[in-house]
Structure 1
């Protein structure tokens, strides 16, 4: 799979993406926003990259001009917290290098992956969630046409943290066709 937008390319990960992926994964701000501990070694990022290389659910987001990895995007075969999985439903995930925030790049990538999901994977719905304090993701989600579904308290992610509120949105095939 390879998708192109005006400024981006969305494609499978390659072994050469390790350095740029590690740059993303070691950022404590991104980790806190997405629910994972920041990586302290390239070996941690290498293990994630190995998983991404085997996956058909997570893709690299690269700048079209120089092909540099600047983020990730995925359509996962899992249900959002509190719901049962369905074959024609996926959960969207995305992450963007902080250097590139505020340029409209992630909404551009999300719109491309949504179209891929509905047009090529024949999905009936796409879910996406964010932690309540993650306004950057909330803006991307709302800009790209998702509708609020529910909010729930998620048990603490790590043993030393308090529970967090997670907000979920959905887009159906009918919503996508109307946009």
Structure 2
């Protein structure tokens, strides 16, 4: 389990289905973070099983009261050894809007970055945000991520109508930032 003073990250469990239903019925999470739309409990249970099957998907919980307040994931960018992508990951995250503005997501991202770079021995971590998701972009920049490029997915497929900005954090940069926050 990954933990800090105020939060901890735990694996998904079936009991998290109602939370996924709550987020899946709120268009804000779909519009801001691309969270899937979930209409009923059957879909929520199916969704929670998908999260449970992913090796690095976590529920963000408050230590005080054990309340689930968000999710964070560390996932593969590719499986080709020769491309070097096995040493890179991408993060995704979502925080319940009732918990915004308290620094919980900053703590969660710090936990997952430390885990990725120190335990998983990753060389870089990427993050993508919808182009108009300024809060997530500011969070990433505060934690040392640098903007690299934007993809206009409407140019890729008529099924998509959004742009996504991609940010990168390299291990060397994170280790310097992490060392400076502890001193």
Secondary structure at the aligned position of 1:67 is classed as coil
Q: How does 1:1-150 map to 2 (within 5 A)?
A: 2-78=1-77, 86-150=85-149
CA distance in 1, matches of 2:41, 2:145: 35
Cross-structure match for 1:176: 174
Encode CA deviations 1:34-66: one digit per residue, 9 max, x unaligned: 224421112221111001112212111111111
Distance in 1 between residues matched to 2:11 and 2:40, nearest whole Å: 23
- For the residue of structure 2 that corresponds to 1:87, the secondary structure is helix
Q: Secondary structure at the match of 1:152?
A: strand
- Secondary structure of the 1:155 match is helix
User: Could you list the runs of 5+ residues in structure 1 that have no partner in the other structure?
Assistant: none
More deviation in 55-64 or 13-22?
Answer: 13-22
2:44, 2:155 → 1: CA distance?
A: 23
Cα distance in 2 between the residues matched to 1:40 and 1:156: 29
Q: Distance in 2 between matches of 1:115 and 1:149?
A: 22
Equivalent residues of 1:57, 1:77 under 8 A apart: no
- State the alpha-carbon separation in 2 of the partners of residues 15 and 37 from structure 1: 17
- TM-score of the two chains, using structure 1 as the length reference: 0.89
Whole-Å Cα distance in 2 between the matches of residues 155 and 45 of structure 1? 28
Q: Is the 8 A contact 2:10 2:58 kept in 1?
A: yes
The structural deviation recorded for 1:158 is 9.4
Cα pair 2:77 2:86 within 8 Å, conserved: no
Are the equivalent residues in 2 in contact too, given 1:129–1:168 (CA < 8 A)? yes
TM-score by length of 2: 0.87
1:165 counterpart residue number: 163
**Length, aligned pairs only:** 173
- After superposition, the C-alpha distances for 1:118-162 in whole angstroms (9 at most, x for unaligned) are 01000000000101111121122112111111112112899676x
**Structure 2: unaligned runs, 5 residues or longer:** 178-183
Q: Distance in 2 between matches of 1:92 and 1:116?
A: 12
